[in-house]
Amino acid sequence: MNSRFFHFGEDNRGGYHFDPRALPENVRLLGNGQLGGKARGLLFVIDHLRHGGRLTDYDPLIGFPDSFIITTDVYDEFMEENRLGESVLARCAGEISTEELQARIVAAHFPDEARARLAEFIAAEHRPLVVRSSSVMEDNPNHSFAGIYLSEFLGNTGSDADRLEALVGAVKRVYASTFGRNARAYRKRHGLPWEKEKMAILVQNMIGRHYPHSLFYPLIGGVAFSLNFYPWSDRLRPEDGVVRLVVGVGTRAVGREYARVFSPVMPGLRPEGSDTKAIIRYSQETVDVLDMQSGRLGQRKLHQLDNPLLAEVCSVVSPDGTLYEPVGGIVGEGRYVATFNRFIARDDIFPFTSLVRELLAGLEGLFELPVDIEFAVDFPLSRATGEPRFYLLQARPLGGRPEHRRVRIPQIPKERILLSCGNVLGNGKKRGINDLIFVDPRTYDYTRAGEVARRVGEIDQTLNGAPYILIGPGRWGTTNPQLGVPVQYGEIAGAEVIVEMATESFAPELSYGTHFYADMVASGVLYLPFREEEGDQFNRDLLSRLPAVASADGVLHVRAEEGFVVYADGAGKRGVIALSR
């Protein structure tokens, strides 16, 4: 890679090391090892600015959380001191389960010197904290690892001893996630050896404020990509980028939940169009917050927050189903949805859209590659106490590149077409896929969603890396079983084609900017949304004639010996799945 980012901090052995004395004031190190991709990306941006570099006309409005980085040599010492490499090999040999391996890691002794340094840190730090993974494999721009490893949120309350134990426990759980099912499946899919994986830890103060009901959160969290691999309109170009906004902690921005999606070049052009019912349906109503009493993330409805600042980002749903902007604040038990209409359209509240548009361009120029970022926007309770501020939480090269060539769909006999649909996003063609997993939207029972998800995962495991087509209701990978099947990445790692079927209860959505989206981009997965009410066709008779490998828990696995061929014509907005000749 010619990007200057991949030479930032590089030593003569090909690793990345930094002199603690040369770091910015708000960045500290524990250890002498590597920082990992996430920490190094953020340090790269901070270093650029503090040496006189420029990103936007709004640089004074951009801030960064304080960062305490636990380098990879602490991870190495922890693994070696507790002889955990033997446990990893036992897991690879099938002698112990993933759960047993992770339990051994969490129960292991944390190195005394590192614990003492964490005790010093925690004695002086009383703000809520985020403990993030920073894997060295994230240094590779072709592998996103988005959402693969764990991040933990800590209320950081109680005695020094209690807070230290909570922090050490969080660090060990992040270490354990290095060997979780999702990480193992991701490395296997991309041919990455686990022996080369090392984990650094990025501990940051959580951006946000204390609000009523003992809750802590930023007013706005979000993610943005400088390159949009799946533009939803002919008026948008891939280089126009895409932004995803939520109220509260940004976990809902990177997960497959409802959020406001827009291009910073044309913010008024929504993927949902101008249909008010669709806008309401796809808008956020539930917020992730840090509950300071429990010390854990929790969920609240917008009207439960009692936060007057919500008037800046929410709209009111009237009894007749129309939307209007609140006047004088959010009051009472009405229904509110986070539309962000005024926030992204006007600069008098905060120049957000202009800032993020320039920031994506500036960071792409700095990294010399497309980038993705995570951020939070913190608002003061009143203008008298300060101005809103944009905090950059993460910046890294965006893994993978789109195929922009036109895919031509040939004439295929109707009897060989299993599925045809419109509104396809992205281009691509897949051949040589013999297996298909189908969860029927007509019979899907969300109260048994866990069983369905685990059954899908079992089939994925038995296929052992062989590619397959995955078809089912709503959103694959959501955390809400009422929106779709709540599989984890490791349970569908072999899927080469993903189809999300709409019904009256389930709505497919690519969820631009989520970890799901990032992994699809990096892995080259084709995405086909299916909406029967818009004329899309699904040949259930053909499906019923295909040989069934297994059928249990509402999950059907079929195999076509002649194989399937899949076309996704992004320019023509059409997709087809058919039997090969």
Question: CA torsion angle for 341, 346, 237, 363 (degrees, to 10)?
Answer: -110
Percent of all residues in the chain with a pLDDT value above 90, rounded to a whole number: 48
Task: Specify whether the CB–CB gap between 578 and 436 falls below 8 A.
Answer: no
For residue 251, what pLDDT is reported?
Answer: 83
523 pLDDT above the threshold of 80: no
Question: CA torsion angle for 272, 273, 276, 282 (degrees, to 10)?
Answer: 10
pLDDT-derived band at 340 (thresholds 50, 70, 90) equals very high
Residue 247 Cα distances to 198, 220, 380, 512, 537, angstroms: 33, 5, 15, 16, 37
7 or 16, greater pLDDT: 7
Phi–psi pair at 238, nearest 5 degrees: -55, -40
pLDDT-derived band at 137 (thresholds 50, 70, 90) equals low
For residue 330, what pLDDT is reported?
Answer: 64
Task: Specify whether the CB–CB gap between 99 and 34 falls below 8 A.
Answer: no
For residue 238, what pLDDT is reported?
Answer: 81
For residue 357, what pLDDT is reported?
Answer: 97
Task: Specify whether the CB–CB gap between 26 and 382 falls below 8 A.
Answer: no
403 pLDDT above the threshold of 60: no
What angle do the packed helices 84-92 and 98-107 form, to 10 degrees?
170
- Lowest-confidence region among 371-385, 410-424, 450-464: 371-385
Picking from 153, 147, 138, 139, the residue whose alpha carbon sits closest to that of residue 180 is: 147
Task: Specify whether the CB–CB gap between 6 and 139 falls below 8 A.
Answer: yes
For residue 17, what pLDDT is reported?
Answer: 73
For the residues of 209-250, what is the DSSP string, one character each?
EEETTTEEE-SEEEEEESS-SS-SSTT--GGG-EEEEEEBST
Tell me how far apart the alpha carbons of residues 507 and 529 are, in angstroms, rounded to a whole number. Answer: 9
pLDDT-derived band at 505 (thresholds 50, 70, 90) equals low
173 or 507, greater pLDDT: 173
For residue 188, what pLDDT is reported?
Answer: 67
DSSP 450: H
- Is 469 strand, coil or helix? strand
Radius of gyration of the chain from its Cα atoms, rounded to whole angstroms: 24
For residue 473, what pLDDT is reported?
Answer: 92
37 or 519, greater pLDDT: 37
Phi–psi pair at 202, nearest 5 degrees: -110, 110
For residue 255, what pLDDT is reported?
Answer: 59
Alpha helices for 399-466 (secondary structure H)? 449-463
For residue 522, what pLDDT is reported?
Answer: 54
User: Positive or negative CA dihedral for 279, 393, 348, 310?
Assistant: positive
- Lowest-confidence region among 298-312, 354-368, 546-560: 298-312
Tell me how far apart the alpha carbons of residues 88 and 98 are, in angstroms, rounded to a whole number. Answer: 9
61 or 190, greater pLDDT: 61
pLDDT-derived band at 512 (thresholds 50, 70, 90) equals very low
231 pLDDT above the threshold of 70: yes
For residue 114, what pLDDT is reported?
Answer: 97
For the residues of 319-342, what is the DSSP string, one character each?
TTS-EE--SS---TT-EEEE--HH
Reading the block at residue 101, the tokens are 């391996």
Reading the block at residue 514, the tokens are 């989520």
Alpha carbon 249 to its chain centroid, in Å, reads 13
Percent of all residues in the chain with a pLDDT value above 70, rounded to a whole number: 86
Looking at residue 454, its amino acid is R
Tell me how far apart the alpha carbons of residues 403 and 170 are, in angstroms, rounded to a whole number. Answer: 40
pLDDT-derived band at 404 (thresholds 50, 70, 90) equals very low
For residue 293, what pLDDT is reported?
Answer: 94
> What residues contact 101, with CB distance under 8 A and at least 6 apart?
87, 88, 90, 91, 176, 179
- Lowest-confidence region among 126-130, 370-374, 452-456, 547-551: 370-374
- Lowest-confidence region among 49-63, 390-404, 543-557: 390-404
Tell me how far apart the alpha carbons of residues 261 and 512 are, in angstroms, rounded to a whole number. Answer: 7
pLDDT-derived band at 526 (thresholds 50, 70, 90) equals confident
470 pLDDT above the threshold of 70: yes
pLDDT-derived band at 402 (thresholds 50, 70, 90) equals very low
Residue 419 Cα distances to 8, 218, 413, 531, 532, angstroms: 48, 43, 12, 11, 11
For residue 401, what pLDDT is reported?
Answer: 44
Most confident of 8-12, 13-17, 324-328, 474-478: 474-478
Query: Between β-strands 62-63 and 389-397, what pairing exists: parallel, antiparallel or unpaired?
Result: parallel
- Lowest-confidence region among 33-47, 498-512, 554-568: 498-512
What's the chain's length in residues?
581
235 pLDDT above the threshold of 60: yes
Tell me how far apart the alpha carbons of residues 551 and 445 are, in angstroms, rounded to a whole number. Answer: 16
Phi–psi pair at 563, nearest 5 degrees: 85, 165
507 pLDDT above the threshold of 70: no
For residue 431, what pLDDT is reported?
Answer: 86
Average pLDDT of span 286-297? 93
Secondary structure tally for the chain: helices H, strands E: 14, 27
pLDDT-derived band at 513 (thresholds 50, 70, 90) equals very low
In 366-422, beta strands by DSSP E: 371-378, 389-397, 417-422
Count of Cβ atoms closer than 10 Å to residue 4 Cβ? 12
pLDDT tens-place string over residues 161-214: 999 999 999 999 999 988 876 666 666 665 666 656 789 999 999 999 999 999
**Averaged confidence pLDDT in the chain:** 86
258 pLDDT above the threshold of 90: no
417 pLDDT above the threshold of 90: yes
